[in-house]
Amino acid sequence: MASDNFVDYVKIHCTSGNGGGGSTHFRREKYIPLGGPDGGNGGRGGHIIVRGNAQLWTLLHLKFKKHIKAKHGGHGSANLQTGSQGADEYIDVPLGTVARDMETGEILFEITEEGEERIIQPGGRGGLGNNNFKSPTNQTPRFAQPGEEGREGWKILELKVLADVGLVGFPNAGKSTLLSVLSSAKPEIGDYAFTTVRPNLGIVKYRDYRSFIMADIPGIIEGAHLGKGLGLRFLRHIERNSLLLFMIPADSNDIHAEYKVLLNELKQYNPELLHKERLLAITKSDMLDDELIADIKKDLPKIPYLFISSVAEKGLTELKDLIWERLNHD
């Protein structure tokens, strides 16, 4: 995933089509000079529809397309003919996209399946023709209903990365290195904080041609749930992961304390994240001997853990086995 092309947040102005007006036509034929009303209804204005597309992984194509308009519906006509329906406008988005109303912040819907379609801005209804208003006391209504105007407004589209495993850790915990070793993804790697500023996805191959998707997401810092660092951008993506792999380096001053900080940031952002399956990987463990490993084990969180080294490729097979087992257990 090329980070320069990854866009996970866009604002778009949506204008749906106006409904067509109803017709006030009266039936006039050679042998029926005083025919009744036969004005047709107006056509519906075009909707603006968001559609899931599994081939997309970014909202980049919408970054410079801020205004989206649908077509207007046609007017009704004689012989009870309904006006043409305004053409709908489709917005293709990656799976995991959330639509919000910009003014209220309300979540409108989420797109999670290929081909799923949801209306983000409905078109105006067509007006009724005069045929709809005839009655015993008014057999020649000379009026019809105008079409309903379309709606317009700003909407927000946010992408929450869909992955089986999300990597959770402070900046420089080795998340990008692990992803680059386990998959063909090529995230930027450096010996400084916030090397990763956008999510990276990698397909991790497992036994018997099976695989799972791993997401390397920008690192947390304390206060991330308040928007510090890259906090909210990170935490939005972690919501859609099935399993969370916490990564803490072996040279940390206090592994248990770091884990508690990470866990607290998730809790403060969304308490439901605590219900996700959690694993712990102690990274950079190639520098440890058996005595140090035994000492560290005395004060680790009560969750499944492994000591790994991406550079030395230590414990990686065991890590994949553990992830696969936890993803597929009943």
Distance of CA 209 to the CA centre of its chain: 28
Closest CA to 2 of 161, 186, 174, 237: 186
Where is average pLDDT lowest: 38-42, 59-63, 98-102, 190-194?
A: 190-194
**Of 225 and 316, the one with more pLDDT:** 316
Asked if residue 290 has pLDDT above 80, the reply is yes
Residue ranges in 280-315 assigned as alpha helix (H): 290-297
What are the pLDDT digits (tens) for 207-218? 888 888 888 876
Most confident listed range (149-153, 180-184, 263-267, 284-288) = 149-153
| CA dist 202 → 72, 167, 187 (Å) | 43, 11, 9
Q: What is the pLDDT of residue 154?
A: 96
Nearest to residue 82, comparing CAs of 125, 124, 122, 39? 39
Complete edge-to-edge strand list for the sheet that includes strand 211-216: 200-205, 211-216, 163-168, 241-249, 277-283, 305-307
| DSSP 8-state code for residue 315 | S
User: Is the pTM higher than 0.75?
Assistant: no
Mean pLDDT of 271-286: 89
Over residues 45-69, the pLDDT tens digits come to 999 999 999 888 888 889 888 999 9
Q: What's CA 189's distance to the chain center, in Å?
A: 26
Q: What is the mean pLDDT of residues 215-237?
A: 56
SS3 category, 4: helix
311's tokens: 């550079």
pLDDT at 230 over 50: no
Taking 70 as the threshold, does the pLDDT of residue 187 lie above it?
no
Rounded mean pLDDT of the chain? 85
Burial of residue 1 (CB within 10 Å: 0-12, 13-18, 19+) is middle
Burial of 63 (0-12, 13-18, 19+ CB in 10 A): middle
State both tokens at 327.
């993803």
Q: Is the pLDDT of residue 197 over 70?
A: no
The tokens of 135 are what? 């009655």
Angle CA 209–215–219, to nearest 5: 155
Neighbours of 251 (CB within 10 A): 11
Does the domain formed by 1-159 have CATH 3.40.50.2300?
no
> Boundaries of CATH 2.70.210.12 in the chain?
1-159
Domain at 163-328: CATH architecture: 3-Layer(aba) Sandwich (3.40)
In the sheet with 48-52, reading across from the earlier edge strand, the strands are: 89-93, 48-52, 117-121
Are 17 and 150 within 8 A, CB to CB? yes
Contacts of 297 (CB under 8 A, 6+ apart): none
pLDDT single digits (tens) 245-256: 999 999 888 999
Q: What is the pLDDT of residues 81-99, one digit of tens each?
A: 999 999 999 999 988 899 9
